[in-house]
């Protein structure tokens, strides 16, 4: 492997997730960062969280990123690889460090919550269209990106713009807006995020972040009016639930052949293209649902005994994408998103194993009344079909 990553022709996987992951330090007890005496080490990153959850559920997943040639980089690569994620396209940077961050044990939604990021000048912020292996990025049924990567540096923004630009044979692009105002160096962040979202096939955005970033206060329908282009738009409405909008044609699901040499370039239209040998193929195209899907679908959130909210949005995206890869109906995709989010909400760290497929399928198939009475607490993913999961009237 070179400093810029491997250049061999990769297998076609279900999902490629591109973005920064960091080593996280979680306090051993509640309190201010100034007062906490010790921390436990973990990992966290929007795209790598999605990758780990999908791989743990049995999907073929590749993580593309850069980490430092340091111990923290070793930890990230080993831990993410331990979930079954292909990490062969993660480049090691000898001159830039792996990003780290510290956070308090409290819920992010409270004023007492603190997060201290040490990611400026990190190895991942040096990702560009020149340092990322185009074949590794394109060899997927779905390419998952987020707005966090676009905010890391001008080179990262150029890369994300190239990956969301129209191109022959482009994988299905999933984009989680993930608006983080503090990451953007100027006031252009909201405009750039809207531009990038308009280029994606599947978009995830929170109702609250749409208000914060774009000033949209009219709910999911108004957000859809601002984002009519994506084939699927998922508006997360916090504890209320989530609404999915599907265009009549839906996203154009690519087959394995979409990642061939004609799709290898990651430059914007008109720029020089980067050739690559045809990848070894595996997997199949995303099957469309058997029945036509409604233009908009709302599914209420579950009643969850929350330990921490960190990583729940990433888990929701992973659950929705998993069900999308399986060709399930939109309502069922939303339910899987909620179930995977519930798994993350009931653990203290950023990552949680998703529920077993049979268990999730069983819960996702409940009638509406039973779904709305469902209550999930810590350890529920190991509970099988325990009757205590369902709160009776």
pLDDT 10s per residue in the chain (393 long)? 334 444 455 789 999 999 999 999 988 888 889 998 999 999 999 999 999 999 999 999 999 999 999 999 999 999 999 999 999 999 999 999 999 999 886 555 455 678 888 999 999 999 999 999 999 999 999 999 999 999 999 999 999 999 999 998 899 999 999 999 989 988 999 999 999 999 999 999 999 999 999 999 999 999 999 999 999 999 999 999 999 999 987 664 444 333 333 333 332 322 322 222 223 233 445 656 666 667 899 999 999 999 888 889 999 999 999 999 999 999 999 999 999 999 999 988 778 889 999 999 999 999 999 999 999 999 998 865 444 444 433
pLDDT for the residue 294: 72
Instruction: List the one residue out of 23, 22, 63 whose CA is nearest residue 152.
Output: 22
**Beta carbons within 8 Å of 182's beta carbon, 6+ residues apart:** none
CB of 155 closer than 8 Å to CB of 128: yes
Rounded to whole angstroms, the Cα distance separating 122 from 326 reads: 36
Q: What angle do CA 264, 266, 267 make, to 5 degrees?
A: 130
Which residues have a catalytic role annotated? 314
Beta bridge partners of 175: 145, 203
Quick one: tokens of 378? 């810590």
pLDDT for the residue 288: 62
Quick one: tokens of 176? 């989680």
Rounded to whole angstroms, the Cα distance separating 230 from 238 reads: 21
Q: Count how many residues are written for the chain.
A: 393
CB of 148 closer than 8 Å to CB of 20: yes
Beta bridge partners of 243: 235, 298
DSSP state of 249: S
Quick one: tokens of 375? 């209550």
CB of 141 closer than 8 Å to CB of 15: yes
CB of 329 closer than 8 Å to CB of 340: no
Rounded to whole angstroms, the Cα distance separating 250 from 207 reads: 22
Q: How far apart are the first and last CA of the chain?
A: 59
Rounded to whole angstroms, the Cα distance separating 56 from 340 reads: 12
Burial class of residue 2, CB neighbours in 10 A (0-12, 13-18, 19+): exposed
Instruction: List the one residue out of 45, 67, 42, 196 whose CA is nearest residue 125.
Output: 67
pLDDT for the residue 270: 25
CB of 314 closer than 8 Å to CB of 49: yes
pLDDT for the residue 228: 96
pLDDT for the residue 307: 86
pLDDT for the residue 259: 38
pLDDT for the residue 275: 26
């Amino acid at each position: 492997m070179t400093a810029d990553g491997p250049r061999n022709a990769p297998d076609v996987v279900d999902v490629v997730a591109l973005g920064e992951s960091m080593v996280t330090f979680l306090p051993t007890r509640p309190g201010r960062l100034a007062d906490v005496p010790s921390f436990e080490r973990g990992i966290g990153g929007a795209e790598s969280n999605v990758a780990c959850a999908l791989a743990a559920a049995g999907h073929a997943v590749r993580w593309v990123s850069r980490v430092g040639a340091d111990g923290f980089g070793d930890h990230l690569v080993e831990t993410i690889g331990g979930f079954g994620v292909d990490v062969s396209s993660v480049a090691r940077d000898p001159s830039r460090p792996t990003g780290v961050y510290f956070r308090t044990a409290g819920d992010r939604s409270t004023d007492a919550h603190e997060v201290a990021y040490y990611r400026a000048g990190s190895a991942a912020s040096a990702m560009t269209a020149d340092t990322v292996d185009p074949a590794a990025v394109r060899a997927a049924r779905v390419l998952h990106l987020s707005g966090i990567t676009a905010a890391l540096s001008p080179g990262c923004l150029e890369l994300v713009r190239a990956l969301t630009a129209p191109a022959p044979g482009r994988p299905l692009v999933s984009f989680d807006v993930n608006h983080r105002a503090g990451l953007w160096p100027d006031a252009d962040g909201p405009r750039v995020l809207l531009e990038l979202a308009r280029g994606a096939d599947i978009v995830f955005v929170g109702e609250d972040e749409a208000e914060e970033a774009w000033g949209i206060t009219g709910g999911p329908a108004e957000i859809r009016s601002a984002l009519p282009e994506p084939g699927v738009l998922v508006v997360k409405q916090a504890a209320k639930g989530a609404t999915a909008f599907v265009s009549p044609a839906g996203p154009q699901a690519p087959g394995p052949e979409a990642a061939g040499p004609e799709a290898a370039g990651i430059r914007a239209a008109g720029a020089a293209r980067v050739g690559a040998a045809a990848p070894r193929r595996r997997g199949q195209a995303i099957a469309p649902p058997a029945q036509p899907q409604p233009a908009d679908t709302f599914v209420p959130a579950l009643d969850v005994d929350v330990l921490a909210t960190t990583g729940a949005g990433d888990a929701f995206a992973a659950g929705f994408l998993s069900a999308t890869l399986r060709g399930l109906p939109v309502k069922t995709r939303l339910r899987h998103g909620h179930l995977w989010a519930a798994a993350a909400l009931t653990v203290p760290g950023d990552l949680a194993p998703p529920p077993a497929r049979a268990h999730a399928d069983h819960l996702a198939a409940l009638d509406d009344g039973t779904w709305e009475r469902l209550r999930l607490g810590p350890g529920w993913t190991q509970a099988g079909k325990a009757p205590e999961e369902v709160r009776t009237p």
